[in-house]
């Protein structure tokens, strides 16, 4: 029977999988310090290292190209000469001249070029990535200008669009082209091509003026400076790489990069040498936790709201294991209560680690693993057939039950695999095992397990980590990276002295409270608040500074028209100010509190003892309403 339509439909999910088999022989080249090959779908890249451009050209022409053409003839594929690029990488000025010898592919001549684009990254001859940075800046500017043209967007939506359509274009493959210094900080010069983008983004999000200090504009708009964002992205990628299996080529490359010294270290080599050095014990996370032939525990798990019922058979031994986890006082503790036919036989507690290394989800998986291991040990000791034993493991964390029912690309995979294998062995022995959340009937025993877990997290409790807790979690490493990026942002903010008005107004900058201030506002109100907080407002005091008015005096004739004068002292707005006075109450006169800033005075009344400081949004809204009623800060004014 003849096949009328060969091939697969456009967009078929089978296409990338089958193409891996198609080009496997082409890409199957050992990667060494002298040669290698990579491919992504139909993009194929081959490289060789030699003493000169002429020697490399000879190797490519005599060995690489014939092998590629032979594969094409056998597979029925074809190389397009016009899409084939050829480049020599070197920083030796004498060898930077493009050689006269081209490559010949299927009768077509391919001459060397000064730069090539591989998987979206532009590589120049010196691997300095200046062209890539320039084109990334151009793409980012086009995207942010389009964002600014979208009128009326609330700040929260505009910020989200900036992250998804602008920052993503700039940050793509940052770990490849963005070098860091030996102190793991991105050099300030990297961020300069993107400063104009950040400024326009701040205008699009909260409506700050064009000549507002960039650090202040970024802080009020709630966006990270480019160098901070790039560093955070690089650290995140570096941490995720350390969760790869130990047989992944990343590990051999990392070991070689850490040992090699060179005049021109790559970003990868700098990270391997000066980046975080505490990631070698990171947990391994695979694309699929279970092998294809392994069944998950979905049929044995009752999640919240499910209607699965356990079997109750006469003459069977019923074994309950109730688990719980507590995280407090910087510690992580577990509690386990074991009951056989309504009789307690085991009650245990354990301080398994610190909360900076472990989390509740992983600890709950750990105590479930211990429960399964206990059941396996017990079945070998009791004088009863395993098929007469019914085991119920009560898990006080629905997210853990979901992870066991549907394991995916997530942390804690090793424990999920061991739990699955342990319960499978119990089922093969004949035991009936179920996992479920606590019910009302379990309340008394669940409280006992919770009490044990809380006792394990008392202050000054001695940490006694089991084997499963002696691993670094990806979630903990990423949490450290976020805290590190937050501190880096503060340090970067303190490097600059511009924007003194806003710095004195709000000592909490940069911080998440600016999102609380702006995200509940529409675009017009956000622009008014930005004017008042930055001091760059449509008032004569500022307009005179930029040459837009002849005098900086207010029309009331008392003094310069500044933000404090406008809000508190101008006699023209006494009538409109009545509602503001009533709303502000004792905070009237404190410009910081009225505009959502944190005063510099320690122990200020706005920061009660034992409570985290946050701005009084009601007063801020009253200030905005006052400004809108006067019409002084409107564009037409």
Position 99 scores a pLDDT of: 58
Position 256 scores a pLDDT of: 83
348 shares a domain with 253: no
Name which of 94, 109, 93 is nearest 57 in CA terms: 109
In a domain, 328, yes or no: yes
143 shares a domain with 112: no
* Overall number of domains in the chain: 4
Position 53 scores a pLDDT of: 87
pLDDT, mean of each 10-residue run, the chain (637 residues)? 67 84 87 87 89 89 92 85 87 69 87 91 92 96 96 94 96 91 80 95 95 95 95 93 90 82 80 79 88 84 54 68 94 93 85 93 96 89 78 91 89 93 90 89 90 94 93 92 91 91 94 94 94 95 93 92 94 93 90 92 46 89 95 74
SS3 letters for 554-601? CCCCCCECCHHHHHHHCHHHHHHHHHHHHHHHHHCCCHHHHCCCCCCC
* Residue where one domain finishes, among candidates 83, 104, 124: 124
156 shares a domain with 113: no
User: What sign does the CA torsion over 350, 351, 357, 359 have?
Assistant: positive
Position 257 scores a pLDDT of: 82
Name which of 594, 586, 601, 600 is nearest 615 in CA terms: 594
Burial of 62 (0-12, 13-18, 19+ CB in 10 A): exposed
Please provide residue 321's backbone torsions phi and psi, each rounded to the nearest 5 degrees: -130, 110
240 shares a domain with 184: yes
237 shares a domain with 109: no
pTM for the model stands at 0.86
In a domain, 294, yes or no: no
In a domain, 165, yes or no: yes
Distances (CA, A) of 213 to 140, 217, 501, 539, 546: 20, 6, 11, 18, 14
Name which of 178, 171, 177, 226 is nearest 201 in CA terms: 226
Looking at residue 367, which CATH number applies to its domain?
A: 3.30.420.10
409 shares a domain with 440: yes
* Residue where one domain finishes, among candidates 451, 470, 489: 470
134 shares a domain with 119: no
CA-based R_g, the chain, Å: 32
In a domain, 39, yes or no: yes
88 shares a domain with 150: no
119 shares a domain with 61: yes
The dihedral formed by the CA atoms of 597, 601, 602 and 606, expressed in degrees to the nearest 10: -40
Task: Give buried/exposed letters for 492-510 (b at 16+ CB in 10 A, else e).
Answer: bbeeeeebebbbebbbbbb
177 shares a domain with 262: yes
* Widest pairwise Cα distance in the chain: 100
Domain extent, residue 602, equals 537-630
Q: Half-sphere exposure of residue 99, counting CA atoms within 13 Å on the CB side? A: 17
* Residue where one domain finishes, among candidates 470, 487, 507: 470
In a domain, 490, yes or no: no
Render pLDDT for 325-378 as a digit per residue (tens, 0 to 9).
Answer: 999 999 999 999 998 887 778 899 999 999 998 999 999 999 999 999 999 988
Render pLDDT for 404-438 as a digit per residue (tens, 0 to 9).
Answer: 999 888 889 999 999 999 999 998 888 888 999 99
The DSSP line for 183-205 is: TS-B-HHHHGGGHHHHHHHHHHH
In a domain, 369, yes or no: yes
Neighbours of 128 (CB within 10 A): 14
Position 162 scores a pLDDT of: 97
Name which of 501, 521, 502, 510 is nearest 620 in CA terms: 521
Position 589 scores a pLDDT of: 87
Distance CA 323, CA 468 (A): 16
Instruction: Quote the DSSP letter at residue 386.
Output: G
Position 561 scores a pLDDT of: 94
Tokens of 326: 């507590």
The DSSP line for 143-155 is: HHHHHHTSTT--H
Position 569 scores a pLDDT of: 93
335 shares a domain with 213: no
107 shares a domain with 143: no
In a domain, 233, yes or no: yes
User: Do residues 456 and 334 touch, judged by C-beta distance below 8 A?
Assistant: yes
In a domain, 345, yes or no: yes
């Amino acid at each position: 029977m003849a096949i009328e339509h060969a091939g697969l439909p456009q967009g078929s999910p089978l296409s990338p999988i089958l193409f891996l088999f198609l080009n496997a022989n082409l890409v199957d080249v050992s990667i060494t310090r002298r040669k290698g090959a990579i491919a992504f779908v139909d993009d194929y890249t081959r490289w060789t290292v030699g003493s000169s451009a002429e020697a490399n050209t000879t190797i490519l022409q005599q060995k690489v190209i014939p092998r590629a053409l032979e594969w094409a003839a056998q597979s029925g594929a074809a190389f397009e000469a016009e899409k084939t690029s050829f480049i020599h990488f070197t920083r030796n000025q004498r060898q930077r001249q493009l050689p006269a010898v081209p490559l010949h592919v299927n009768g077509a001549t391919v001459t060397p070029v000064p730069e090539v684009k591989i998987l979206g990254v532009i590589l120049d001859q010196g691997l300095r990535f200046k062209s890539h940075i320039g084109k990334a800046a151009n793409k980012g500017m086009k995207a942010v200008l389009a964002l600014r043209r979208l009128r009326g967007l609330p700040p929260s939506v505009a910020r989200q669009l900036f992250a998804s359509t602008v920052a993503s274009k700039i940050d793509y493959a940052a770990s490849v082209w963005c070098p860091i210094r030996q102190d793991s900080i991105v050099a300030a010069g990297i961020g300069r091509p993107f400063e104009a983008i950040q400024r326009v983004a701040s205008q699009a999000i909260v409506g700050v003026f064009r000549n507002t200090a960039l650090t202040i504009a970024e802080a009020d708009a709630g966006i990270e400076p480019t160098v901070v964002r790039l560093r955070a992205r690089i650290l995140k990628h570096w941490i995720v790489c350390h969760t790869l299996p130990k047989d992944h080529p990343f590990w051999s490359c990392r070991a070689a990069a850490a040992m090699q010294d060179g005049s021109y270290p790559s970003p990868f080599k700098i990270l391997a040498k000066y980046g975080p050095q505490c990631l070698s014990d990171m947990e391994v996370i695979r694309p699929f936790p279970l092998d294809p032939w392994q069944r998950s525990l979905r049929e044995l798990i009752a999640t919240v709201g499910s209607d699965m019922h356990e079997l109750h058979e006469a003459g069977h031994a019923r074994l309950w294991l109730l688990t719980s986890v507590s995280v407090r006082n910087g510690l992580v503790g577990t509690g386990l209560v074991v009951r056989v036919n309504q009789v307690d036989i085991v009650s245990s507690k354990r301080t398994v680690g610190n909360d900076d290394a472990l989390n509740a989800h992983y600890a709950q998986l750990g105590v479930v693993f211990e429960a399964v291991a206990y059941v396996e040990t017990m079945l070998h000791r009791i004088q009863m057939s395993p098929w007469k034993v019914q085991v119920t493991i009560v898990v006080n964390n629905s997210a853990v039950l979901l992870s066991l029912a549907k394991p995916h690309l997530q942390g804690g995979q090793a424990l999920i695999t061991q739990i699955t294998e342990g319960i499978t062995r119990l089922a093969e022995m004949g035991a009936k095992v179920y996992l479920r959340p606590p019910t009302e009937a379990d309340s008394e025993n669940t409280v006992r397990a919770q009490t044990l877990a809380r006792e394990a997290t008392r202050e000054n409790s001695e940490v006694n980590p089991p084997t499963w807790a002696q691993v670094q979690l990806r979630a903990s490493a990423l949490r450290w990276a976020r805290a590190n990026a937050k501190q880096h942002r503060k340090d970067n903010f303190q490097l600059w002295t511009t924007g003194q008005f806003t710095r004195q107004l709000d000592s909490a900058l940069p911080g998440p409270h600016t999102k609380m201030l702006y995200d509940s506002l529409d675009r017009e109100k956000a622009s008014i608040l930005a004017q008042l907080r930055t001091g760059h407002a449509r008032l004569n005091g500022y307009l005179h500074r930029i040459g837009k008015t002849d005098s900086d005096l207010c029309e009331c004739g008392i003094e310069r028209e500044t933000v404090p004068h406008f809000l508190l002292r101008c006699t023209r707005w006494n009538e409109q100010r009545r509602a503001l006075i009533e709303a502000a109450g004792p905070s009237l006169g404190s410009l910081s509190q009225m505009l959502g800033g944190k005063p510099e005075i320690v122990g200020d009344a706005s920061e009660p003892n034992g409570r985290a400081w946050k701005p009084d949004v009601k007063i801020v809204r009253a200030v905005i309403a006052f400004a809108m009623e006067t019409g002084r800060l409107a564009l037409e004014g």
